[in-house]
Amino acid sequence: MVTSGKLVAIFFGWTRTRGFSWQVRYRSSSPLDLFVVARRTVSIFFAALIAWAVLIDWGGTVGSLAFADIITFEDGADESTKSERTIDAEILVEAADGGVLARCDAGRLWTIQPDMIVKRTEQPAGPPVDQETMARRMLKELPAGFQVYRTVNYLILHQGNEAYARDCGVLFEQLHRGFFTYWKNQHVDLEEPRYPLVALVLANHDEFLKYAGQEIGDTAKSVIGYYHLESNRMTTFRVPNIERNIATIIHEATHQLAYNCGLQTRFADNPMWVSEGMAMFFESPDFSNPRGWRGIGRVNVVNLGRFRRYLPLRPEDSLVTLLSDDSRFRSASTAEDAYGESWALTYFLLKTQRKEFVAYLQKLSESKPLDERTPRERIEDFESSMGMALDELDRKFLTYMRRVR
């Protein structure tokens, strides 16, 4: 049983560093190093921490597909925007006072405090919505002017430029095929996404700022796209030169796939080096290629350059600090090195320790929402999956990466 004091600490730390957050790509002034990946967190729900301090035992409420409700609750940041919303939701975590973390039939995660709930009816979970239903809901939710473009696996909402939406759709489908083929070749059985994969493509930067600013605040001014953990959507806008931004689009689409096919669990303790390393492994930008995307698993020259610049200053405990927590990603002075090393470690493991790394990913995929590992547990999980101590793996890692070109 989780104690009240421990849970407050867990939930506060998780919310601040993981929970209500987005993977986003920052622009860079460097001609080659176009993007520096950053993470933004949002502080909503902090005032409700005490309600979560009395969560009941994880085992009885997390991840049960049979435990579901129809919930009507008051949604809105203040009185002027407050309205009643009804969702058909799986209950992922429930507090003793009735607050819940719920996943609705469209895949969105909702944190609903007990004083927000108007009515709640227990019943078996209904099926996820299909593309047609999702499209109707999205058009009702979004401002006027949005149109729908569909591919086999994606639902793209755009503001009138179907040609650009089609280009994005081609990239998404290309990644989808490659992603599933890659993991199939590694003997990893992925789940087909339960919910429609949604992407929003705004008409221009101004429209992007208006929409994204409501979700991620001032960070929207510095990014061209992001994947939103809570809504399960990607958001970007029409940029003048899509080829120069393919890395961002593929990076965010990789996050979305990983969280929808069973590789990762939203709002769980997903080490950032894994999330970002995997996304960078799949993005592989190649600006000499007319399509701008070289494919899956090739050397990512941007991040290889980052790692090489880091090597002369790299401390002996670098892997310890990378694996044990996410602090290096949250500091401007260490973030670029952390991203470069995350890509390098992921590349090394998938090229030389594939079976062991896959076992590690499968262990992480079993994580439950709001669960938290200690720094020592993170390292122990990694070492047990790799079958060797971290210092031994570090030596092999450096030897291998010094030969990569």
**Is the same domain home to 254 and 353?**
no
DSSP per residue, 325-359: -SHHHH-TTTHHHHHHHHHHHHHHHHHHSHHHHHH
Cβ neighbours around 30 below 10 Å, total: 11
Per-residue pLDDT at 287: 54
Looking at 220, 240, 261, the residue that finishes a domain is 261
CA of residue 214 relative to chain centroid, distance: 19
**Is the same domain home to 233 and 147?**
yes
Q: Residue type for 29, please?
A: S
**Is the same domain home to 249 and 174?**
yes
Q: Tell me the per-residue pLDDT of 141-190, one tens digit each, with 9 for 90 and over.
A: 999 999 999 999 999 999 999 999 999 999 999 999 999 999 999 999 99
Does residue 48 sit within a domain? no
Does residue 336 sit within a domain? yes
CA–CA gap between residue 386 and residue 399 (Å, rounded): 17
347 with 281: CB under 8 angstroms? yes
Count the alpha carbons within 13 Å of 19 in the hemisphere toward its beta carbon.
Answer: 22
Low-confidence ranges of the chain (pLDDT < 70): 1-66, 77-78, 80, 285-294
Per-residue pLDDT at 290: 54
**Is the same domain home to 269 and 293?**
yes
Angle at the Cα of 50 from the Cα atoms of 46 and 55, rounded to 5 degrees: 115
CA–CA gap between residue 212 and residue 234 (Å, rounded): 11
**Is the same domain home to 220 and 298?**
no
Sheet holding 154-158, edge to edge: 35-41, 21-27, 223-228, 233-237, 197-202, 154-158, 147-150
Across-strand partners of 104? Answer: 89
Q: Tell me the per-residue pLDDT of 56-96, one tens digit each, with 9 for 90 and over.
A: 333 333 333 447 899 999 987 667 678 899 999 999 999 88
Q: Are strands 154-158 and 223-228 parallel, antiparallel or unpaired?
A: unpaired
**Is the same domain home to 227 and 276?**
no
Does residue 60 sit within a domain? no
CATH number at residue 221: 3.40.30.160
**Is the same domain home to 282 and 199?**
no
Query: Which residues constitute the domain of residue 326?
Result: 264-405
Across-strand partners of 60? Answer: none
Does residue 209 sit within a domain? yes
Does residue 106 sit within a domain? no
CA of residue 77 relative to chain centroid, distance: 24
CA–CA gap between residue 146 and residue 215 (Å, rounded): 18
**Is the same domain home to 251 and 328?**
no
CA–CA gap between residue 314 and residue 336 (Å, rounded): 13
**Is the same domain home to 257 and 269?**
no
Does residue 52 sit within a domain? no
**Is the same domain home to 285 and 404?**
yes
Does residue 303 sit within a domain? yes
**Is the same domain home to 393 and 405?**
yes
Looking at 261, 282, 305, the residue that finishes a domain is 261
Cβ neighbours around 210 below 10 Å, total: 12
CA–CA gap between residue 140 and residue 142 (Å, rounded): 6
Per-residue pLDDT at 296: 85
Place of tokens 């004083």: 115
Looking at 261, 278, 304, the residue that finishes a domain is 261
Which helix (H) or strand (E) segment holds residue 87: the answer is strand 83-94
Task: Report CA torsion sign: 262, 243, 208, 43.
Answer: positive
Number of structural domains in the chain: 2
DSSP per residue, 53-77: TTBPPGGGTTT-TT-EEEEEEEE-S
Per-residue pLDDT at 291: 57
Sheet holding 100-104, edge to edge: 109-112, 100-104, 83-94, 68-75, 117-122
